[in-house]
Structure 1
Amino acid sequence: MAAPSATPSAIHPKLLTILCYGAMMSLAIGLNLLPVFLTALSELFGGVEGLSKEQLGRLGALAFAGLSIGILATGPLADRWGAKAFTILGNAMIALSLVGLAFAPSYAMVGAWMFVFGLGSGTLDMVLSPVVSALNPARRAAAMNWLHSFYCVGAAVTILAGSLALKAGLGWRGSCLVLLPLPLGLIIAFSRQHFPSLTTEGGRTPMRALLKNGWFVAALVGIFLGGATELGMAQWLPAYAETSLGYSQFTGGMALLAFSVAMAAGRMVIGSLEKKINSFQIMAWGCGLTVLLFLCGSFLPSAPLALVACIVAGFTGSCLWPTMLAVTADRYPNGGASMFGALAALGNAGGIFMPWLVGLVADWRDLHWGLAISAIAPLVMLPLVLGLGARKRRA
């Protein structure tokens, strides 16, 4: 039996939307604190030789594995019981993981807590998009880009806090505790709110029916490639700046901060221009420009220009994930949390695969080639989004 929805008068759409923005920032903590400290963790847990790049990539992969499992497990339950309990549970797991990571004694325990962090982030990732979509049915593309821009804001705050904690000598453990108040505050705030139903009165479209539809399957592939585009660079940029371009650890953290700010700006721009653009064309442009910038960032002989290209790729690739969510929600408005869960799981599966692949190629060759391999994702996504747009016009 589905959870009874709150009456419209009991729901405060603007306030709840703002709290969802805050929860998206909380989600960003677990996926962006790790890259700032890859070098430090290598030295702390890897001894004289340090951890291998594959071992470092494995930590990020564990977080995204937890993320995908959390999404898949939570989607059907949220359709049945409503979203409120899962927004609280997700923030609780994030808070618990921050405490656990602050006191983790070994590489294995860091990996275990990164997995739990991923579970909490996945729980939030699953419920936030359908809640914001239900609260803003007349402007889904704008609302989705704004929501996901706050993931980037959260990433920027996390990276800045981590980098400043590093500079102040607090290290990995101190940074975890500095970020703890955000999820704790959100637990209290969400507990006082009423949530909307995640589908219209027509009822939810079953996942079996969606998976028989070719357009939806192509959208799943597209969001996998969008996640791979975004997260391959995001997970490895600080380490690339430090070990391949010759910058300091602090500068590497600031590069990721700038990348996150560029992503936030890109999503806010798309959100502001919702009625003036074609969503499929803007994704196609984003794919093409991101391919060029990834290759420039990987192979330009000038370190400053290469770093700038990596950062600007955050702006051009920013629209791919949230806009794909929005166009799919517009096509299937009764997909419910399960549909968003499937999309988010595939997007984050790209986030598992690409950072691991970058590390694998880097061990085989170097990080220049490791990051260059990331360009395959937006290159393949380009014709796919054009095809989805053409099929939408014919529908």
Structure 2
Amino acid sequence: MYSLLLAIIYVAFVSLGLPDSLVGSGWPVMHEDLAVPLAYAGIITMLIAGGTIASSLLSERLTRRFGAGLVTAVSVGMTAAALLGFSVTGSFWVLCLWAIPYGLGAGAVDAALNNYVALHYAARHMNWLHSFWGVGASISPFVMSHAITSGLGWSGAYRIIGVVQVVLTGLLLASLPLWGKVHPRVPAHDAEPSTHDGEPTFTHDGEPAPAHEPTTRGGHVPLATALRIPGVPLVLLAFFAYCALESTSILWASTYLVTDRGVTPATAAAFASLYLLGITGGRFLAGFVADRVGDRALIRGGFLTVALGVVLIALPLPTPVLALAGLVVAGLGSAPIYPAIIHSTPVNFGRNSSQAIIGIQMAAAYSGSTFMPPLFGVLSGWVGLWIFPLFVGVLAVLGLVMSERLSGLVARRASTSVPSSDAAASRTP
């Protein structure tokens, strides 16, 4: 059952990545067919992001009531319906309406699946699963290209991916009996079971609680309560910073290389794609060492490697070779950060609180990836694109500092064996 459900979750992560590149890859044709300006893509992406943030924040309540399996299945079904809706509409404003369930489904399934994997599977699987997400995101532009060149049009690409999502929805519904039979993992790498007055403490699942995992009790954890748990603001800032630097690099790195480093557009585009391939390949490689080195080391090493890549990009040398290499290095450094932050959440904040906190983390992630690239665009218009490595570097330092402060807080909690977040959660009516 463990392996069968894991295989289904792997397929789900590939399928989750499939829709994410469709709007960007198809918009040059879509906006002409819909008779709207090119800039209207921002409206679609903002609506999707808004729905994603909202459903991420609601994911904890939904998952507690209906279970991770059913929430995942229904959310994928919503995404499938939205994609099929995209495929049959010829109006931009109807497209905007379909973008709402598109975002709502994406946010809920992302938070529910990430929390389930964090609770039940080892760190290597979290890295590999997110690598498979990158595979799905890389495939969809080819699906869009094939649909356009074969005469199916951009709507054909949405129809193909929509049908894939419908099939996945059926598979997830059929797998519902398995979700409750896979036992939660015992986090054994980063901590030993904690004790209080010489007796071991336990999570609400009846498992030994690691020394730095706050023992948790109770049911629903409201948003306000989750935000008051010590360390949560730190992890939210770290996650916001990471997703902001990743999305800013994806959107602006190629333009920076062309305008400020004299790289040809073709070369810049190729190396910008290598940044994404570095993330995907880096997560696959990180999976082989994740269980041995631990989430904290992966996060620290990831941010430091990104910082090294940024330094290489910024060096004012007459040749752009190091800048191009720096972009690849930054991609490899980015690879383990997202999965490791997610995977460490139950250990850092307790199993009972993890779904609520992962939902908030997803909202912080989407906020960073949605709002920071446009902010960089505004700043670079005022100051110049030369600030790209400085902008990304500041985000990398912010992420590193916040994650290190969280590690220090967790270490102090482990040394005193005080389940601080449990007290905050237990005060909630």
TM-score by length of 1: 0.80
- Structure 2 residue 68 is matched with structure 1 residue 79: no
Alignment correspondent of 1:175: 157
- Displacement of 1:311: 4.7
Unaligned runs of at least 5 residues, structure 2? 185-203, 207-215, 414-429
Alignment correspondent of 2:246: 230
Letter in 1 for 2:242: G
Aligned partners of 1:76, 1:391: CA distance in 2, in Å? 27
User: Percent identical across equivalent pairs?
Assistant: 23
Letter in 1 for 2:170: I
Alignment correspondent of 2:334: 317
The answer to whether the 8 Å contact 1:156/1:257 transfers is no
Aligned partners of 1:242, 1:43: CA distance in 2, in Å? 27
Letter in 2 for 1:28: G
Aligned partners of 2:157, 2:389: CA distance in 1, in Å? 27
1:143 aligned to 102, 114, 125, which one? 125
- Displacement of 1:108: 3.9
1:345 aligned to 363, 367, 370, which one? 363
* Count of residues paired in the alignment: 375
Aligned partners of 2:20, 2:113: CA distance in 1, in Å? 16
- Displacement of 1:89: 1.4
Superposed, which structure 2 residues align to 1:135-214 within 5 Å? 135-136=120-121, 139=122, 141-166=123-148, 170-193=152-175, 194=177, 195-196=179-180, 200-201=205-206, 203-204=217-218, 206-207=221-222, 209-214=225-230
Letter in 2 for 1:147: L
Letter in 1 for 2:337: L
Alignment correspondent of 1:334: 352
Superposed, which structure 2 residues align to 1:42-53 within 5 Å? 51-52=38-39
Letter in 2 for 1:132: V
Change (3 A) 1:51 1:369: farther
Letter in 1 for 2:161: L
Alignment correspondent of 1:59: 44
Aligned partners of 1:363, 1:119: CA distance in 2, in Å? 33
Alignment correspondent of 2:8: 19
Letter in 2 for 1:153: V
The answer to whether the 8 Å contact 2:290/2:298 transfers is no
- Displacement of 1:51: 2.8
Point out the more displaced range, 71-80 or 336-345: 336-345
Aligned partners of 1:269, 1:339: CA distance in 2, in Å? 27
The answer to whether the 8 Å contact 1:130/1:340 transfers is yes
Change (3 A) 1:145 1:309: same
Alignment correspondent of 2:427: none
Change (3 A) 1:302 1:46: farther
- Displacement of 1:186: 1.0
- Displacement of 1:162: 2.9
Letter in 1 for 2:358: F
Letter in 2 for 1:24: F
The answer to whether the 8 Å contact 2:232/2:357 transfers is no
Point out the more displaced range, 346-355 or 285-294: 285-294
Superposed, which structure 2 residues align to 1:370-381 within 5 Å? 373-381=391-399
- Displacement of 1:273: 0.5
- Displacement of 1:381: 0.8
Change (3 A) 1:112 1:246: farther
Change (3 A) 1:355 1:222: same
Aligned partners of 1:298, 1:170: CA distance in 2, in Å? 44
The answer to whether the 8 Å contact 2:345/2:358 transfers is no
2:293 aligned to 273, 277, 300, which one? 277
- Structure 2 residue 242 is matched with structure 1 residue 216: no
The answer to whether the 8 Å contact 1:26/1:154 transfers is yes
Does the residue aligned with 2:351 lie in a helix, a strand or coil?
A: coil
- Displacement of 1:61: 3.0
2:79 aligned to 94, 97, 122, which one? 94
Listed one character per residue, the Cα deviations across residues 365-384 of structure 1 (whole Å, up to 9, x for unaligned) are 66665686344322211112
Change (3 A) 1:227 1:390: same
Aligned partners of 1:294, 1:37: CA distance in 2, in Å? 31
Listed one character per residue, the Cα deviations across residues 300-348 of structure 1 (whole Å, up to 9, x for unaligned) are 8767875664454332112221111122221222224223212222222
Change (3 A) 1:181 1:286: same
Change (3 A) 1:236 1:20: farther
Alignment correspondent of 1:9: none
Does the residue aligned with 1:272 lie in a helix, a strand or coil?
A: coil
**Higher Cα Rg: structure 1 or 2?**
2
Listed one character per residue, the Cα deviations across residues 58-103 of structure 1 (whole Å, up to 9, x for unaligned) are 4333322221112122321211221222112111122122222224
Change (3 A) 1:389 1:288: same
Aligned partners of 1:307, 1:42: CA distance in 2, in Å? 32
2:302 aligned to 286, 295, 312, which one? 286
Point out the more displaced range, 61-70 or 332-341: 332-341
Change (3 A) 1:173 1:318: same
- Structure 2 residue 55 is matched with structure 1 residue 70: yes
Aligned partners of 1:369, 1:14: CA distance in 2, in Å? 47
The answer to whether the 8 Å contact 1:220/1:346 transfers is yes
Alignment correspondent of 2:200: none
